[in-house]
């Protein structure tokens, strides 16, 4: 078990939020969610950037390799529009993809909106960092995180990241018995 304090990246990918045209509600919803459910010490590295593939890749690499993030949660840029390139940038910087994350998040999101299938959100591993894409809509954050969070601490254990635990009354982190 790793003793290091977790660093978690939160990256909002939105042309308009990055220009200040609207407030970044989704990134803040992710940070509030993390503060609510994670009971082990962690710090957040927060970025708000436009839908530019090179910049997304650079930001993910900086957060994973230089800031030592064990987890990066992105929001936005997962849809079918021409400027939606978050999944491509994620795949480009990851060594391994974990398609089950996107499959599960789309499944739970379908209970909220029929357009859930328009999100190409995915997840992957870069070194000892797990990167997970969330849609841009503020209302998607909790439904998606509630679905995948139980598997995230064990995934981070497996890739050698920091130890993370959750409040079992809010999210029960599942670690299979050895």
Ligand X SMILES: Nc1ncnc2c1ncn2[C@@H]1O[C@H](COP(=O)(O)OP(=O)(O)OP(=O)(O)O)[C@@H](O)[C@H]1O
Ligand Y SMILES: Nc1nc2c(c(=O)[nH]1)N[C@H]1C(S)=C(S)[C@@H](COP(=O)(O)O)O[C@H]1N2
Which residues in this chain contact ligand X in the complex, by CB under 6 A?
12, 14-17, 22, 24-27, 51, 75-76, 79, 81, 136-138
DSSP-assigned beta bridge partners for residue 102: none
- In angstroms, give the least distance from the CB of 135 to ligand X: 7
162 DSSP 8-state letter: -
Q: Contact 27/91 with Cβ under 8 angstroms?
A: no
Q: Which residue is nearest to ligand X (CB)?
A: 136
Place of tokens 């939020």: 17
- In angstroms, give the least distance from the CB of 142 to ligand X: 14
Residues 6+ apart with CB under 8 A from 162: 2, 4, 5, 6, 7, 42, 70, 156
In the list ligand Y, ligand X, none, the entry touching 166 (Cβ below 5 to 8 angstroms by class) is none
DSSP string, 48-61: EE-S-HHHHHHHHH
In the list ligand X, ligand Y, none, the entry touching 124 (Cβ below 5 to 8 angstroms by class) is none
Pick the closer one to ligand Y by CB: 76 or 124: 76
In the list ligand Y, ligand X, none, the entry touching 93 (Cβ below 5 to 8 angstroms by class) is none
- In angstroms, give the least distance from the CB of 62 to ligand X: 20
**How far is residue 40's CA from residue 123's CA, in Å, rounded to a whole number?**
23
**Cα-to-chain-centroid distance, residue 8:** 9
- In angstroms, give the least distance from the CB of 104 to ligand Y: 12
**How far is residue 119's CA from residue 79's CA, in Å, rounded to a whole number?**
5
Taking CB under 6 A as the criterion, which residues in 100-139 touch ligand Y?
109, 112-113, 115-116, 118-119, 135-137, 139
Which of 23, 116, 34 lies closest to 73 in space, CA to CA?
34
Pick the closer one to ligand Y by CB: 93 or 162: 93
Q: Contact 124/97 with Cβ under 8 angstroms?
A: yes
Pick the closer one to ligand X by CB: 10 or 162: 10
Pairing label, strands 123-126, 96-97: antiparallel
Q: Does 76 bind ligand Y (CB under 6 A)?
A: yes
Q: Which residues bind ligand Y (CB under 6 A)?
A: 76-79, 84, 109, 112-113, 115-116, 118-119, 135-137, 139-140, 143-144
């Amino acid at each position: 078990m790793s003793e290091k304090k977790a660093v978690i990246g939160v990256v909002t990918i939105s042309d308009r939020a990055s220009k200040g045209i609207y407030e970044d509600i989704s990134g803040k919803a992710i940070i509030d969610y993390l503060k609510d459910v994670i009971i082990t010490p962690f710090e957040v590295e927060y970025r708000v950037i436009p839908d530019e593939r090179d910049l997304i890749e650079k930001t993910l690499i900086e957060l994973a390799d230089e800031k030592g993030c064990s987890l990066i949660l992105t929001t936005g840029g997962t849809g079918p529009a021409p400027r939606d390139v978050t999944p491509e940038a994620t795949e480009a910087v990851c060594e391994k993809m974990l398609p089950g994350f996107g499959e599960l998040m789309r499944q739970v999101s379908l209970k909220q909106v029929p357009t859930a299938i328009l999100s190409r959100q995915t997840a992957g591993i870069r070194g000892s960092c797990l990167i997970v894409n969330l849609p841009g809509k503020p209302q998607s954050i909790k439904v998606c995180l509630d679905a995948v969070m139980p598997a995230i601490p064990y995934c981070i254990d497996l890739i050698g990241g920091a130890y993370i635990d959750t409040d079992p009354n809010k999210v029960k982190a599942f670690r299979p018995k050895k």
